[in-house]
Amino acid sequence: MAQAVRALWPGGLALTWRLGGRPALGLPAQSRAGLTGAAGGPGPAATTRKGGPRLLGAAALALGGALGLYHTARWHLRAQNLRADRSAAQLSVSSRLQLTLYQYKTCPFCSKVRAFLDFHALPYQVVEVNPVRRAEIRFSSYRKVPILLAQEGDSLQQLNDSSVIISALKTYLVSGQPLEDIITYYPPMKAVNDQGKEVTEFCNKYWLMLDEKEAQRMYGGKEARTEEMTWRQWADDWLVHLISPNVYRTPTEALASFDYIVKEGNFGTVEGAMAKYVGAAAMYLISKRLKSRHHLQDDVREDLYEAANKWVAAVGKDRPFMGGQKPNLADLAVYGVLRVMEGLEAFDDLMRHTHIQPWYLRVEKAIAEAPE
């Protein structure tokens, strides 16, 4: 049971002014000032004395208003066209790709993939895997989650490993290469980990397979690309390993965590009861070994706080996301990992004792506002 459950955790000119909800684009400042002057301008006698200039001023005002209306309408239509083009592109991808995600809902690696799919508005079906029997992935020789099945026409591709899934799909969205070709760029290989256990690793999994023009359009420079890759790997190699020791830190927290896991997961009645109590006890003990293995502090919260503040410092104060004005793959990865703790004491402590909450809420909003 302990082995099965461990995998669960490894942001008229009144019409012109209001159109589109913004000030009239292209309306000269002089025209706006002229509008204010006309409203409180000179009386009838002055109008009689300045008939010619008054008419010219009115004509200029009307012309300025018409230009403002024209530019506002053009901006409004352009914005609609951009949204339509983006929706059409997403519809095209959606019609070509049918995605099925095999997951444990509380697994941070699975949460990473969902954050990516949701932000990019890619529709997908979810199959919640029973962590004990894992019958839902019996078709696969690769026995970990997440697994993504991608149907493109007559071609059915299986993508394994969260970072490979994200890199392959992002490459597909940017380059338009066939998915069956893209996945060959991420070959699996066998390796032996620090515990002497044979594991499957994937080459190039943080690298997007783009040509020079595509990479320049997406990143703007090599530094941004390297930064994204570095922090994606940090999320996998370090941040993920802080989750279990923190959510199972005390017997009370371990029990609360497994209560959440059982409610969200695919357990039978008996399995759920056993997982909640036996699993909580087992993972409380295992978390102590994890703390030693990863050389964590006596109070593992401090490691979590340091990691969160290190991430916030890397994002900096001059940009809302590491990706600039929108989340990049590193933003989505870090968000996805941390999201699995929502509702638990560790998450509340993280929001209260670090500087990460404003960034976290911006990513949450960006994903929620993704076009459907």
Look up 202 and say whether it is catalytic: no
Is 174:210 a contact under the CB 8 Å cutoff?
A: yes
| pLDDT score at 74 | 43
Cα dihedral 185, 188, 189, 190 in deg (nearest 10) = 170
Residue 52 lies in a domain: no
Please give the structure tokens belonging to residue 173: 């969205």
Q: Give 118-130 pLDDT, tens digit per residue.
A: 999 999 999 999 9
Number of domains in the chain: 1
Distance CA 355, CA 159 (A): 35
- 203 part of the active site: no
Q: If you average pLDDT over every residue of the chain, what do you get?
A: 80
**Domain span holding position 223:** 85-369
Q: Which residues contact 294 (CB under 8 A, 6 or more apart)?
A: 241, 242, 245
Q: Which of 70, 102, 107, 305 is catalytic?
A: 107
Examine residue 353 and state whether it is found in any structural domain, yes or no: yes
- Identify the pLDDT of residue 267: 77
CATH number at residue 166: 1.20.1050.10
Establish if 167 belongs to a structural domain. Answer: yes
Residue 31 within any structural domain of the chain: no
125 lies in some domain: yes
Length of the chain: 372
Q: Give the separation between CA 78 and CA 20, rounded to whole angstroms.
A: 11
The whole-number pLDDT of residue 77 equals 46
Is 275 a member of any domain?
yes
> Is 37 inside a domain boundary?
no
The pLDDT assigned to 316 comes to 98
Query: pLDDT tens, position by position, for the chain (372 residues)?
Result: 444 444 455 533 233 333 333 333 333 333 333 333 333 333 433 333 444 444 444 444 444 444 444 433 443 444 344 344 444 444 456 568 999 999 999 999 999 999 999 999 999 999 999 988 899 999 999 999 999 999 998 999 999 999 999 999 999 999 999 999 999 999 999 988 877 888 899 999 999 999 999 999 999 999 999 999 999 999 999 999 999 999 999 999 999 988 888 888 887 777 777 777 788 888 888 888 888 889 999 999 999 999 999 999 999 999 999 999 999 999 999 999 999 999 999 999 999 999 999 999 999 999 999 876
Active site residue 110: yes
Catalytic residue selected from 70, 102, 104, 139: 104
Residue 277 maps to a domain: yes
